[in-house]
Amino acid sequence: MATSVNPKRFSRTRACLCVLCGLPAAGKSSLSRSVCHAARRRGWRAAVIPYDELIPGQAFNTREAVEDATLQQARTEWKLHRHAVLQCIEKFLDKQEIPLEFPSGVGIDWAAWERCARALLTSPFSPDRDDAAPLLFLLDDNFYYPSMRYEVFQLARKYSLGFCQVYAQCHLDLCVSRNDNRPCPVPTGVIEEMAKRQERPNPIKNPWEAKSIAVDTADKLTNCDIQKVMELISNALSDPLSPVDDDREQKEADRQRCAASVIHQADQACRRLISEAMKKARETGASSQHMRSLAAHLNESKAQFLQRLRGQFLQDPNFSPGEDVDVDRVVKTAVARFDGERQEIMLKIIQNHSDF
């Protein structure tokens, strides 16, 4: 349905994409509202982009799917909704206006997005200088994978915007307690799983996360907390990113990091399988000679398996560094293959040593 919004253009406007990340109920929404009010008091055009409101509720419910096929389909759908949010921001930046018609297939709550965009149309105190007022997008979501945040970084870089991140730091137990008191709480298991996967901003590991800070949201926010965030955003506005024509180096670095995570987890899982095999052999009364032979064969098989896995993963054309890779699924599938090799090795040694 068409809206009555008058298009406004934002030429030569400074703008910033600020990512607010952390566990559910960590205090991100309260922080984003306080920062948004502080920004508007400065005369900035600011809006909170609340993913929970923009993305349909059923998309979040699919996180509880347990069957592998259903889970994979659910995650794909969820990623499409997340991508739609960034598409709306990009359209706003590219066209420098609110579209007059509902875009087809956008995949988000259009009314919720329009409320966000309207807040960016006029400066609260300088309506005659709209073009001069900075634009601030506060993206409120969990963003527990770096790849999720990197997509926002890429958008900021494409349009030469400021980019920064604020991590809402809050203990898991307190997040669960706060969540339980909400009208529509997230399942506790989902929060606990997110806590295991949460990768907070790490400028040492990811140089593009250089402008990142953590804010303790366990207690009531202070003026000092808000001031710290505002200083970070001001710094990002003053130091916008530069577009790059070729980001192959960054993509390759992301690819290598993800591969390292897969190999590390696969190695740990394989070690556990080898340990189980050795324990089983010991319980059957295997001689020390047979134990040494079994250990040597299993460790050699593991080394070769991990080497093949790394090569296959890096050469997989379906793997894109900008995507959220389901590392657990990749590791689970790969380790199942090694378990088959382990069984074959144990069977051969049993056949070769009748007294095993």
pLDDT given for residue 17 in this prediction: 97
The partner residues of 245 in beta bridges, in order of sequence, read none
Average pLDDT, integer, range 123-129: 56
Considering the domain architecture, whether residues 266 and 287 belong to the same structural domain is answered as yes
Question: Would you place residue 103 in the very low, low, confident or very high pLDDT band (cuts 50, 70, 90)?
Answer: low
pLDDT given for residue 115 in this prediction: 87
Indicate whether 219 belongs to any domain.
Answer: yes
Considering the domain architecture, whether residues 34 and 75 belong to the same structural domain is answered as yes
Indicate whether 1 belongs to any domain.
Answer: no
pLDDT given for residue 280 in this prediction: 83
pLDDT given for residue 340 in this prediction: 86
Which of 248, 281, 252 has its CA nearest to residue 347? Answer: 281
Question: Would you place residue 331 in the very low, low, confident or very high pLDDT band (cuts 50, 70, 90)?
Answer: confident
**Residue % of the chain over a pLDDT of 90:** 33
Give per-residue pLDDT as tens, 8-23. 444 457 899 999 999 9
More confident residue, 101 or 253: 253
pLDDT at residue 130 is higher than 60: no
pLDDT at residue 181 is higher than 50: yes
More confident residue, 155 or 3: 155
Considering the domain architecture, whether residues 163 and 270 belong to the same structural domain is answered as no
Report the distance separating Cα 136 and Cα 18, nearest Å.
7
The tally of domains found in the chain comes to: 2
DSSP helix/strand/coil, 138: strand
Report the distance separating Cα 304 and Cα 33, nearest Å.
53
Average pLDDT, integer, range 42-68: 71
pLDDT given for residue 345 in this prediction: 83
Helices (H), the chain: 28-41, 51-54, 57-61, 68-95, 110-118, 146-158, 172-180, 188-197, 223-238, 248-283, 288-315, 327-352
pLDDT at residue 132 is higher than 80: no
Where among 238, 260, 283 does a domain terminate? 238
Question: Would you place residue 350 in the very low, low, confident or very high pLDDT band (cuts 50, 70, 90)?
Answer: low
Considering the domain architecture, whether residues 198 and 130 belong to the same structural domain is answered as yes
Contact by Cβ (8 Å): 209, 149: yes
Indicate whether 7 belongs to any domain.
Answer: no
Indicate whether 5 belongs to any domain.
Answer: no
Which of 30, 27, 31 has its CA nearest to residue 232? Answer: 31
Question: Would you place residue 69 in the very low, low, confident or very high pLDDT band (cuts 50, 70, 90)?
Answer: very low
Pairing type for strands 15-21 and 162-169 reads parallel
**Residue % of the chain over a pLDDT of 70:** 75
Where among 238, 265, 296 does a domain terminate? 238
Considering the domain architecture, whether residues 55 and 160 belong to the same structural domain is answered as yes
Question: Would you place residue 93 in the very low, low, confident or very high pLDDT band (cuts 50, 70, 90)?
Answer: confident
More confident residue, 81 or 323: 81
Q: Which domain holds residue 337?
A: 248-352
The mean pLDDT value of the chain amounts to 80
Give per-residue pLDDT as tens, 285-304. 778 887 888 888 888 888 88
pTM here?
A: 0.67
